[in-house]
Structure 1
């Protein structure tokens, strides 16, 4: 049996272990801490070299969109979970599939050689370029990501990018006039990561947060901004300037990061290795949930390790890498932040095609029309990628058909009179099915 080293027991490491087991590989996980969940394990004390969430952190992706594809998050968990529930979910996942016994805790990997609290404060928010503000709660109180992350919306955006971008920006401005709130950026909605925040507009309109220009310099007790205004007697400065990433324990001849850029095929595989025995999991910045994408990466990597999937030759890998980097440069504004960007649905589909588990919507229209409607027009939840191909899960269809029930369950805390809705009948379903087929093959 082949052994696979997994470094870290966070959200990516856990699913890496599980995917190895699914493919009959032997995972050996090294975790430098004495706990799982990575940065989602909150600690009061700062641990050197280890990031963690804040005490108040609530995840920005809804539970049905962020769960692993064969393990739904409990229905009674909130739609957007506090970090304690995210951590608890990871523990449940580890327990369900018996992952802990493969983890070597308090074991740090140093080198990989060449392998040929609430208070009242005045807050000044300095922003260099502004940002589009997206709320977790969309129209009718639905989770934003479940409304937006659909195969249908992805097809529309790909086919009519300017129209969809303009329309979506106008909808966001109807909620918050970004210009009046001094938040409007120069770049378009999809040319940088949006800011997911429900509280910021409320804080601005009540005076708790004052938006300022970029900081020109700091004085001994305050700051001078690029528009010439100054603030004095600041109590603290929080630098929310992002991250530089790297792999200090891996030989630079294998992977080298320069200016936050790294050359990895499908954001996973070093292209110059003679044998593809290494994969980097989670080295991407997703416009969507990280967990399902990491899981899909692991499903692909383990099939490569086992010899069930053959990688293309090095020149074709480099062509794909350069093509993605060029497209990213055309779309995103110049920034160290926008070097490993991926869109949720397209990237899931790209990896799923390689694994062989991408849903065949055309086939589903003929064999299971009701399911096909959910797959194409509904939220692109991870369960879709367990319907067919390698690693199918017999609970996938039911998970898809009941995903909205689990979404609403934590909201059902008092009895309400329900409005009866008349069924549209089989004829309506047939019309929708025909439209879905046409859209799928035309767009």
Structure 2
């Protein structure tokens, strides 16, 4: 049986983003239930990082606006400091008592076809609760992505999420790290420091940005509202002065524009490459026992492969066919609204070029304002917003761009709310006309699925 919770919302996940949202809902007086599948606050910071992890963004750009990090924290805090900070945040705002730990949401489904009538949420214990809406903040660093290659590798294999300390590399000392992102760079350096040498395999060229430029954290350079082409040009000059031609390090030249894909923020990989401690390898072609063959014809013998190959975005508790997927990511309006549906919001599915603190703080406040506004409209709010802003699948964005788009979302919703108050009884007809306006081509597939 479903237990009613009229007007209450369900928040899924007590990590960096989910707790920021809970704070905003609590301060706005919005009733909510908060579920966390594990027994800990902090999400990936509690169970998915290695012992030597430090932030790649500065503490100033990572901290919540409403709760600064301790003054004695270094510029790039450790994972333990970050986890302590997240726990302090929860306690400071009195959020812990409302978190139901060790309680997984196994199913969330709309009461009607679009969610206008609310959502039914099934918990791991079998209980079903009814909510006005659902906010998905389950994070995107938990379903491991491990690519498949022909043949069988006879040595040890582990994903970066399962690595904690050098002992996890296993015996033998011949380590191949696969990937070109932040974790791959860190673990290749750690393996080289442990065994004297390590190899790193990359399938393409990446942009590598040092953690500081002129002594200023790289994440701090993204704060000003500077057009992306100007940022790109300036950073390319700075990177050329810092690193020169990547091919001097044995790396491929990036095959994409700077910031078009995730960048790697690391100051030690290049050092180890030039000192011969890390050897770059091409993409893997196939396995043969402990021999790994690479696409250009070379090969190497290894005892351990570490897959630092990222994660897949998943919402296992939802019918994932409700989304239109592009390049492994769902189409969303301003990274939060699900086109064609009401009262469901995705929060935190963003990879900003700098720390996400300000984005989470402002985004949570915006969502706490627009989520209750849905009850003013007889059609999904997403259908109204879609006439002003396009749906996108990319999770990459600059911090200034993200903040500007959040403010735009707030203005759009406030504009619709003002019209609703002025029209009064004519609201239903006005909303219906707005929802029936020409549909952007990117949304047609989504709305056809809902219809």
Deviation at residue 313 of structure 1 after TM alignment: 6.0
State yes or no: 1:87 paired with 2:83. yes
Q: Per-residue CA shift, 1:104-161, capped at 9, x if unaligned?
A: 011111000134245224211111112121111210x221211x1232xx32x34xx2
Which residue pairs with 1:149 in the alignment?
A: 222
Which residue pairs with 2:340 in the alignment?
A: 272
Distance 1:253 1:230 in 2: 41
Q: Per the alignment, do residues 96 and 164 of structure 1 end up closer, same or farther by CA in structure 2, a change over 3 Å counting? A: closer
Distance 1:257 1:189 in 2: 24
**Partner secondary structure for residue 237 of structure 1:** strand
Distance 1:194 1:253 in 2: 30
**Partner secondary structure for residue 290 of structure 2:** coil
Question: Which residues of structure 1 form unaligned runs of 5+?
Answer: 43-51, 326-338, 357-443
Which residue pairs with 1:300 in the alignment?
A: 366
Deviation at residue 290 of structure 1 after TM alignment: 2.8
State yes or no: 1:131 paired with 2:181. no
**Partner secondary structure for residue 189 of structure 1:** coil
**Partner secondary structure for residue 306 of structure 1:** helix
State yes or no: 1:349 paired with 2:354. no
8 Å contact 1:204–1:210 — kept in the other structure? yes
Deviation at residue 81 of structure 1 after TM alignment: 0.8
- C-alpha RMSD of the superposition: 2.4
Q: Please, which of 29, 32, 39 is the counterpart of residue 34 of structure 1? A: 39
Which residue pairs with 2:102 in the alignment?
A: 106
Question: Which residues of structure 2 form unaligned runs of 5+?
Answer: 1-5, 115-164, 167-193, 412-451
Aligned residue runs from structure 1 range 351-430, under 5 A:
351-355=406-410
Distance 1:15 1:78 in 2: 22
Q: Per-residue CA shift, 1:401-420, capped at 9, x if unaligned?
A: xxxxxxxxxxxxxxxxxxxx
Which residue pairs with 1:168 in the alignment?
A: 235
State yes or no: 1:7 paired with 2:12. yes
Q: Per the alignment, do residues 251 and 313 of structure 1 end up closer, same or farther by CA in structure 2, a change over 3 Å counting? A: closer
Q: Per-residue CA shift, 1:346-375, capped at 9, x if unaligned?
A: 11121034346xxxxxxxxxxxxxxxxxxx
Distance 1:145 1:259 in 2: 26
8 Å contact 2:35–2:99 — kept in the other structure? yes
8 Å contact 1:114–1:250 — kept in the other structure? no
Q: How many residues align?
A: 323
Distance 2:313 2:406 in 1: 23
8 Å contact 1:63–1:73 — kept in the other structure? yes
Q: Please, which of 296, 313, 329 is the counterpart of residue 245 of structure 1? A: 313
8 Å contact 2:66–2:361 — kept in the other structure? no
Distance 1:313 1:5 in 2: 19
State yes or no: 1:17 paired with 2:22. yes
Q: TM-score, normalised by structure 2?
A: 0.67
Deviation at residue 211 of structure 1 after TM alignment: 0.8
Aligned residue runs from structure 1 range 174-185, under 5 A:
174-177=241-244, 178-183=246-251, 184-185=253-254
Distance 2:82 2:92 in 1: 15
8 Å contact 1:268–1:297 — kept in the other structure? no
Deviation at residue 99 of structure 1 after TM alignment: 0.6
Deviation at residue 296 of structure 1 after TM alignment: 2.6
Q: Per-residue CA shift, 1:304-337, capped at 9, x if unaligned?
A: 1222998856265177335x45xxxxxxxxxxxx
Q: Please, which of 56, 63, 69 is the counterpart of residue 65 of structure 2? A: 69
Q: Per the alignment, do residues 258 and 354 of structure 1 end up closer, same or farther by CA in structure 2, a change over 3 Å counting? A: closer
Which residue pairs with 1:261 in the alignment?
A: 329
Deviation at residue 254 of structure 1 after TM alignment: 3.8
Distance 1:186 1:103 in 2: 45
**Partner secondary structure for residue 347 of structure 1:** helix
Q: TM-score, normalised by structure 1?
A: 0.68
Q: Per the alignment, do residues 318 and 54 of structure 1 end up closer, same or farther by CA in structure 2, a change over 3 Å counting? A: farther
